[in-house]
Structure formats: structure tokens, C-alpha cells
Amino acid sequence: MNFDILAGLDLRAWLAFNAFIVAALLVDLLVLHRHAHAVSWREAAATSAGWIALGLAFGGLLWWWRGPTSAGEYLAGYLIEKSLSVDNVFVFVLIFSSFAVPAAYQHRVLFWGVIGALVMRGAFILAGAALLERFDWILYIFGAFLLFTALKMFRHSELALDPKQNRVLRLVGRFVPMSNEYDGQRLFTRRNGVFMATPLFAVLILVETTDLVFAVDSIPAIFAVTRDPFIVYTSNAFAILGLRALYFLLAGAAHRFVHLKTGLAVILAFVGAKMLIVEFYHFPVWFSLSVIGTVLTAAVVASLRSDRQLDATHDAPLPDPLGLLSGPDHRPPADRH
């Protein structure tokens, strides 16, 4: 790795930001969620609004500290990561339902999942920045990969996920005995004197490996907006910190955003093309931010309109982004004859 990128980092800024993250996570763990409970929609909405406010406030701080260009790059990266994180929500729903995770324990799994995601993504970002610093042509590989990912999204190719057949989980199971019973919020327990992992630990492994897969898409996408590792990391961090609240906010209604995946595909195609033509033309930050915001708004509005039309047409097939419904008849049981 080229360590020149590390020498150019503002270590004080990195230490201060990570100290803030640690403090926020401690407040979340020891105060807000000290006792296990099912997160209500109202609580999730308030927490999500709080994280979004903090994320936007940090953008204002960057504006004051580094100027409008850095603030615009941060906001564009934050919007990209926030929108792509909706895909995580779909997969979390599948994982939690597959393992029948009690609602009261889901937040604790996501809490530890966020910590792992921050560490992994921080390493990815520093490695990616170092590679781009040394090999400019890697930017074209990132761009081509994002275009390929966008094409898969346009074709509605979903992430193939059979939670109980996950290779990483099976590998861990060879070394760590797994219990079939939950023991509160504990990741590990003792059964008949044997130290064992609970199903919550298995779920955590799946959450982490899933985030690793999504990071392969999202991190190169933000490098299309900026090559500043601090901006890439902070935009990722605020989006990930708000992911838990977003899950509890959207888990029951994620299927209603039927056009969001198309919008995400358009965004990935745009940033991928932006990477490929960077040597010939460089889009200003305000233009990238406008495209991302416009596409997201259009996708959400189109989804809400489609949802209202679906509610008005009871015989219409239910949207099934996770592929959980099977058989030729997708109507609710009450409507079948």
C-alpha cells in the first residue's frame, strides 16, 4: 500500500470525528437502549430524524471549515450512501425473519453490526484512496463496475441470499459451537457447561457479510464524487449510523418503494459514467448533487403514487422485492377462493 495517503491525513480531524462516533454509540447503548425493547415506529422516526439532522449539521460544519466544495461533496456522498442503504433494509428483513429474531433483540444486533461496518469501511476507504493515489487507472475499473451493477439493478437482479447457507457462517460454525436457542441479547452463552454462540451471533455474521457486499458498490460510488478519504468516510459513517433507525422505520413498508431500485440504478450509472469520462470532463459538485437529489425524489414520488394505485386495486399482485411470495397466486390469503 502507498502510505503517502496516510501522511496527508488530518489526524486531529479523524480522531475528533471517531471520538464523536464512540460517544454517540455509548449514549445509544447505555442510555437509549440499555434495556431490550421492540423499537416503535415513532421512536424509529425520531431517531432517524435525529441522525439526519446530525448528518446535515456536519455538512454545515464542513462548509464553515473547508468551504462549499467539500460540503457539497460530502452531501452528495451522504445522499448516495443513504439511498443505497435502503437495499440493506430489504436484506435485514429477510435475515431477521429467517432466524425469527425477536423484535426486542434486533436493535442490539444492528448496533454491533454498525461498529463492524464502520471498521471495515474505514479500512476499505483508506485502501481505496491509497490505490487511487498510486494507480489512477483503477478509477476506470470502479466506473465499469458501477455500470455493471446499475445494469443488474435495471434488470431487477436481486442479491442471492440463503441466510442459513452463507459460506462465512458455515465456516464460523466449524470453530464455534452454535446454540439453537436465544439467551436474551447475548451473542454467546453456556449450555451444559459448553461455551456456545447464540443465533444472534449467527445473525450478526450475516449482517456484517451483507454490509461487506453492499460496501463494494457504495464506496466506489462516493469516490466518483470526491477522492478525499475523510469526506468519503464521514458520509459513510453518518449514513450507517442512521441505518438502524431506517430499518425500524421502513421494515414494514420497504416493499412499497417499488421504483427506488430503478432510481438507484440511474444514480450508479451516472456516477459510473462520471468516473469513465473524468479525464475529458469533470462535472461540478452542484450538478452531481442536483442529479442525485432529482433522481431520488422522482423515484420516491413515483413509488408513492404506485402504492396508492395498488391500494385502490385489491386484485393487483403484491410487490415482492424479496421474493418471499411463491406460487402463481400472489394475492393475500383472505382474497383467495
The torsion region of residue 53 among left (phi > 0), alpha (psi -120 to 50) and beta comes to alpha
Section 16-33 average pLDDT:
87
Decide: 105 and 184 in contact? Cβ < 8 Å: yes
Decide: 245 and 47 in contact? Cβ < 8 Å: yes
Q: Is the pLDDT of residue 211 over 80?
A: yes
Give, as one character, the DSSP assignment of residue 32: I
The neighbour count for residue 132, using CB atoms within 10 Å, is 19
Q: Please return the burial class of 67, using the count of CB atoms within 10 Å of its CB with bins 0-12, 13-18 and 19+.
A: exposed
Give the model's pLDDT for residue 234: 94
What single string gives the DSSP state of each residue in 152-213? HHHTTPPPP--GGG-HHHHHHHHHS-B-SS--TT-SEEEETTEEEE-HHHHHHHHHHHHHHH
Give the model's pLDDT for residue 130: 84
Tens digits of residue pLDDT in 126-152: 888 888 888 878 888 888 888 888 888
Backbone angles phi and psi of 269, in degrees to 5: -65, -40
Distances (CA, A) of 194 to 178, 198, 202, 213: 10, 12, 17, 33
Confidence bin at 321 (pLDDT 50/70/90): very low
Q: Is the pLDDT of residue 53 over 80?
A: yes
| pTM of the complete model | 0.78
Give the model's pLDDT for residue 153: 78
Closest CA to 264 of 139, 117, 154, 155: 154
Give the model's pLDDT for residue 61: 94
Q: Is the pLDDT of residue 252 over 70?
A: no
Confidence bin at 74 (pLDDT 50/70/90): very high
The alpha-carbon radius of gyration of the chain (Å, integer) is 21
Q: First-to-last CA distance in the chain?
A: 64
Give the model's pLDDT for residue 269: 87
As a whole-number percent, the residues of the chain with pLDDT over 70 amount to: 83
Q: Is the pLDDT of residue 303 over 50?
A: yes
Bridge partners (DSSP) listed for residue 14: none
Question: How far apart are alpha carbons 99 and 104 in whole angstroms?
Answer: 14
The torsion region of residue 83 among left (phi > 0), alpha (psi -120 to 50) and beta comes to alpha
Q: Is the pLDDT of residue 5 over 60?
A: no
CA atoms lying within 13 Å on the CB side of residue 182 = 13
Higher pLDDT: 90 or 271? It is: 271
Average pLDDT of the residues of the chain: 79
What residue spans define the domains of the chain? Answer: 4-316
